[in-house]
Amino acid sequence: MGDEELLGPVGATLAAELERTDVVPSRRELFVVPAGEAYLAGNSLGLQPRAVRAAVDDVLESWGGAGVAAHVEGAFPWASYHETMRDSVAALVGARPGEAVVMNSLTVNLHLLVNSFYRPRAERFRLVIEADVFPSDRYAVMNVARARGFDPTAAVAILAPRDGERHLRTADVEAFFAAEGQSVALVVLSAVDFRTGALLDIPAITAAAHRAGAVIAWDLAHAVGNVPLALHDWDVDVAFWCHYKYVNAGPGAVGGAFVHERHGRDPSIVRPGGWWGHDAASRFAMPFEFVPLPGAEGWQVSNPPILSMAPVRVSLALFHDVGLDALRARSVRLTGFLERLLDAVAGRHPVELITPRDATRRGAQLSVVVDDAVAVTERLYAEHRVRADDRPPNIIRLAPAPLYNTYEDCWRAAGALDAVLSF
């Protein structure tokens, strides 16, 4: 069977068989899937778990029935609501108890952590980011440098792939730290490239930064719920992420933060200061002096938005029930099938898959270069009900999320892309 045959009925039959025999079944029935869609945009916004509506309704009922007393009454009292997610969020990122917390949004957490851990000295003042970082990270890091009195063009080092390549090489990052690391105070890198889906070698790069004497912070926006993480064991200093992509907690969902326990116990590190980061035993006594909670919770600033926390609690529970290792194994099989289908499309049209071929160096997202990504994405949906997303001018992103996507979704997406490019 030639691969081009996979784009037709032969591929549909194979997709059905692969779905039937996969040892990790789809949990599609647990999600609200838009009617008739092959939804492969979970790297941008994950689908809604069906249980979310009841969880939000529960908050509304508590508010309506108990008012302010709901802070301390009911099955999920608001005053301790974030504590119900301690274990599940820690498990998702490979943290020890107390090292991870659900709070704020991704870029707010970035600012809070970077401002605590960027402690420049005369000889060690530089920040490091990658060239293709998501704009929010770049804006934040540049402005942190400005706020400390530095010219960002001098204080911010930018790591870029080699000429003609799309991905940072681990060896090149290690070489940078070996040569220039003595001037670096803080490194802020994205674990998964939002354009290409490439996964950096987090433990190797973390170790290289530490050998150079730098602190490293990881943006896990496209990694959480997508690839297995072991932040504590990898000795990561701090990390921040959102929950609205692969974790499926809804638009603008409350994010998360990780602080390694060695920093969480270090009183010399200045927390941002806010009453929800204050010692819980005396929080409502409102003492004059700020006494931070130990661990990541000491970086909290405000009481959590309970209506927005409810979907996070539901979503994290799904990952706890299924297990990320099992989901990752299914994800590798789904993306492997989609990769084969996209290769068949590339055999017929001038397109290029720019995501790493090595499954250990990527997550669920496969990115394809076409002539006009916006036009192609619009036609995929309008003509075939395939939901992808694009990064102009020429990148289409397809992300089969293992919780709810199927092999048939992959087959439909590739067939639709072939059809769109044919006319």
What does the domain layout of the chain look like in residue ranges?
3-32+323-422, 55-321
Q: What is the DSSP string of 24-66?
A: S---GGGEEPPTT-EE-BTTTSPPEETTHHHHHHHHHHHHHHH
Residue 300 has a pLDDT of: 96
Q: How far does Cα 387 stand from its chain's mean position? A: 19
| C-alpha to C-alpha distance for 273 and 305, rounded to whole angstroms | 18
| 13: CB partners within 8 A, 6+ apart | none
Ranges of the chain with pLDDT below 70: 1-2
Does domain 55-321 bear CATH number 3.10.20.30? Answer: no
Q: Which amino acid is at 393?
A: P
| C-alpha to C-alpha distance for 1 and 93, rounded to whole angstroms | 41
| 353: CB partners within 8 A, 6+ apart | 339, 342, 343, 346, 366, 367, 368
For residues 311 and 56, the answer to whether their CB atoms sit within 8 Å is: yes
Residue 1 has a pLDDT of: 46
Q: In what order do the strands lie in the sheet with 184-190?
A: 100-102, 256-259, 238-241, 215-219, 184-190, 126-130, 156-159
Q: How far does Cα 59 stand from its chain's mean position? A: 26
Closest to 234 measured CA to CA, from 191, 256, 204: 204
**What whole-number percentage of the chain has pLDDT above 90?**
97
Is pTM beyond 0.85 here? yes
| C-alpha to C-alpha distance for 211 and 230, rounded to whole angstroms | 19
Give the containing element (helix H, strand E) for 354. none
Domain formed by 3-32+323-422, architecture? Alpha-Beta Complex (3.90)
Instruction: Report helix angle 106-117 to 135-147, nearest 10.
Output: 30
For residues 238 and 258, the answer to whether their CB atoms sit within 8 Å is: yes
| C-alpha to C-alpha distance for 182 and 259, rounded to whole angstroms | 23
Residue 318 has a pLDDT of: 95
